[in-house]
Every structure is written in C-alpha cells, then in structure tokens.
Amino acid sequence: MTIRTRLLPALAAGLALAGCSTEGDLVLNQGVGISAVRSTCPAVGIPDYTGDITTFSSPTSRLARDMDVEATMTNLRTTCDEQGERIYANATFDVYATRSDTRGARTVELPYFSVVLRGGSSVVTKKVGTVRIAFADGQDRAVGQGQAGAFINRADATLPADVRERITRERKAGDEDAALDPLADPEVRAAVQAASFELLVGFQLSDEQLAYNATR
C-alpha cells in the first residue's frame, strides 16, 4: 500500500497520515456489522513535501538558472512479514534525478529518512540513510535506489480482544445498534489508532528546502 501524507510539526516538523483503505482494513459486511479486521502491517507512504529535493549551485539563490540537481522519490513498494511476534516491513523506492551541468561524471549523495509512527503522531523510531546517484559524463539524468526497514511488535499492532469483538460482532437488521458505526465509539477509535503504525520515507530536508517544496 502506498499513500502520500501531509507534513506536520514532528519530523523536521512532524508527520500525520491521511487515511487509506487496503485489503485487511476494516470493511463493512453488507452494510451491517464489520467482517474483517485490518492487517497488522504498517501503512507505507511519502509525506507531502518530502518526496522531492532541489539543490542549487549558489547557497543563497533559488533561481531556476542556478539549479544544480533535482530529484524525486517514486515507485515506493513494500513487503511485510507478519508471521512472528515481530512484524518486519521493508520499503524500497527509486530516485529519479536530473542535473544542469552535464560535464564530467559525477556522483551525488542525497539523504533520506525513514520513520515509524504510531497512532498517526508518535515517533517510534527514525533512521537516516543516503541514496547515491551516479551521473555519466554528458548525461543529465540518472536513477538511484533506496530502502528502509522496520520492526513492529505484534502485540502493539494487535487490537485488544474486547475491541475486536465490538468491531466484528455481526449485527442484524432490527438490532438496537444495527445502524451504529462501532468506530464512532471513542474507546474503539482510540484503540484502533493506538494499534495503527506507519512506515514513512522521504528526503531529509533542511527547513529551507522544506519551505521551498511547500511554496513552489
């Protein structure tokens, strides 16, 4: 599953996820009750404004003529092993880069982060890595690859039995609570949020680079 999210104050500012629906998420059973419970694997995404990076030949310039390298993170893919007590998720991605000056071979290293969030806002772990981009002489385009992995305790990503029962209990037409959404219950909603994890990746940007992405 791949999603793009909005950046908030917690990473280089912080991160919050937009919702998404995938196989294993809570789904309605013919409009009455809920028949399936979401996967324990984390959602994977690139937060808004962190999927691109631009460097300039002059540190004080933001003019197009002074652009040095532009790169975009894309093709985010994920695998997840949820067989044991520790769930392992691995995300891979491509970085497509262009440069203005094509003279000579050149290698560029671009920093990126990977962070695990719990409940949409609590940072569990954060790591910083580097993607290497190798431009051949005379070429203005090159591609690099990166990856990020994370372990999550199964117990932390599993709903309590009583909450699970309240969500998945079959409801029949005519029941007093047949038309009620169990996720409208604050306790149920809080439990689902606490058991929800996200693995987010993006370029490790300076405040200035982040502002440039947000306003261009």
CA angle 92, 200, 7 (to 5 degrees): 135
How do residues 11-68 score in pLDDT, each as one tens digit?
A: 433 333 333 334 444 443 444 444 444 688 999 999 999 999 999 998 888 888 889 9
pLDDT at residue number 100: 95
Single out the residue of 62, 46, 13 nearest to residue 207, CA to CA.
13
DSSP 42: P
163 pLDDT more than 60: yes
* Per-residue confidence band for 212, with pLDDT thresholds at 50, 70 and 90: very high
Rounded distance, CA 5 to CA 39, Å? 20
Rounded distance, CA 49 to CA 213, Å? 5
pLDDT at residue number 172: 63
The amino acid that residue 10 corresponds to is: A
| Residue tagged 């003529």 (tokens) | 65
Q: How far is CA 144 from the centre of its chain?
A: 19
Judge contact between 167 and 191, C-beta under 8 A. Answer: no
pLDDT at residue number 34: 44
How do residues 85-123 score in pLDDT, each as one tens digit?
A: 999 999 999 999 999 999 999 999 999 999 999 998 899
pLDDT at residue number 179: 57
What global pTM score does this model have?
0.76
DSSP 184: G
pLDDT at residue number 147: 96
Q: How is the chain split into domains, by residue range?
A: 2-215
Rounded distance, CA 49 to CA 68, Å? 19
Rounded distance, CA 157 to CA 40, Å? 5
State the average pLDDT over residues 156-183: 71
